[in-house]
Amino acid sequence: MEVLKSIRDLYLPVQPTLKQTGEKVVYREMVPREQLCPFIYCYWQLKTLTRLDESFTYRVVADGCIDIFLELERPQESLVMGFCKKYTEFPLDPEFHYVGIRFLPTMFPQLFRVDASELSNRYEDLMLVHKRTQQFLSRNMNQELSFEEIKERLDNYFLNYLSTVKWNLDSRLYAAVNQVLKTQGVLSVQNDLDVGLSERQLRRLFNYYIGDSVKTFSKVVRFQNILRAKPSVQSLKRNKLFFDSGYYDQPHFIKEFKNHYGVTPSKAFGR
């Protein structure tokens, strides 16, 4: 199981903090119990503190993960969001209270025996993906619970569920995933991933456990590395961070960044 723990050590996916909402909308993350950390990156909460004057658009950037999420007013309608190679925008009502579970790369397919490629770039009703988890959420989540109480219930459920999992720990797959993460996505798939798999085998494993190709996953990882660095607009221009991150020129960097984030780097990092 050490091979699984290394992913969290190498990869800390970022979702941007909310801007221009005043004190009306809050986004929080909470780390699961230690035994679950190799599999679940975080539990998250997105909620209004007071009713908004109009509907709210929430943007999720590409992060290489798969999430389960639900609105606490309707826990029977939980959803799964698959690996996305670009940003996604969700139009929300003026009042909402969402919670979610963010699984580290490869972990959702490992836990639930689901082909990640079947969920890529879309969301699906959890009942159609994993009935047992959907039923647990439907019966145990509600608006009266605090985020801390929700975390405790989710921890207990997933700790119990772990005892039923039959792992498929292909060391070659995880050697490739770790190499992508160690190089922060800056690598040549042909030259830097000599893990004992043919290109076709590697593509099949990444599609099943990640949800897309090695190349696409690497692009998301290097984008996430830029986010975690939190550069200013001035430092991006001065330090040419996009060259160090494998982008061959500034227009290439801006185009890919906007694809993953939804806005240009200057808007994302502007102060």
Boundary residue ending a domain (143, 162, 181): 162
Helix (H) / strand (E) element for 47: namely strand 40-48
Token pair for residue 216?
Answer: 């696409």
Boundary residue ending a domain (121, 137, 162): 162
pLDDT, residue 156, reads 98
pLDDT above 90 (res 232) = no
82 and 177: one domain?
no
Residues 193/71, Cβ–Cβ less than 8 Å = no
99 and 16: one domain?
yes
Q: How far apart are alpha carbons 78 and 75 in whole angstroms?
A: 6
Q: Give the pLDDT band (50/70/90) at residue 193.
A: confident
Q: Residue 217 class from Cβ within 10 Å (0-12 exposed, 13-18 middle, 19+ buried)?
A: buried
Structural domain span for residue 198: 171-269
- Residue 66: closest CA among 8, 123, 135, 137: 123
Lowest mean pLDDT among 68-77, 129-138, 179-188: 179-188
57 and 183: one domain?
no
55 and 22: one domain?
yes
Token pair for residue 102?
Answer: 């963010």
Cβ neighbours, 10 Å, residue 17: 7
133 and 52: one domain?
yes
111 and 245: one domain?
no
140 and 243: one domain?
no
What is the mean pLDDT of the segment spanning 187-192? 81
Boundary residue ending a domain (162, 195, 227): 162
176 and 119: one domain?
no
Q: How far apart are alpha carbons 82 and 158 in whole angstroms?
A: 19
Q: How far apart are alpha carbons 73 and 250 in whole angstroms?
A: 44
19 and 118: one domain?
yes
Q: Give the pLDDT band (50/70/90) at residue 104.
A: very high
Cβ neighbours, 10 Å, residue 112: 19
Residues 5/170, Cβ–Cβ less than 8 Å = no
136 and 182: one domain?
no
Q: What is the CATH number of the domain that holds 215?
A: 1.10.10.60
Lowest mean pLDDT among 66-75, 97-106, 225-234, 252-261: 225-234
122 and 203: one domain?
no
Report how many domains make up the chain: 2
Average pLDDT of the chain, as a whole number = 91
Residues 129/100, Cβ–Cβ less than 8 Å = no
pLDDT, residue 77, reads 96
130 and 177: one domain?
no
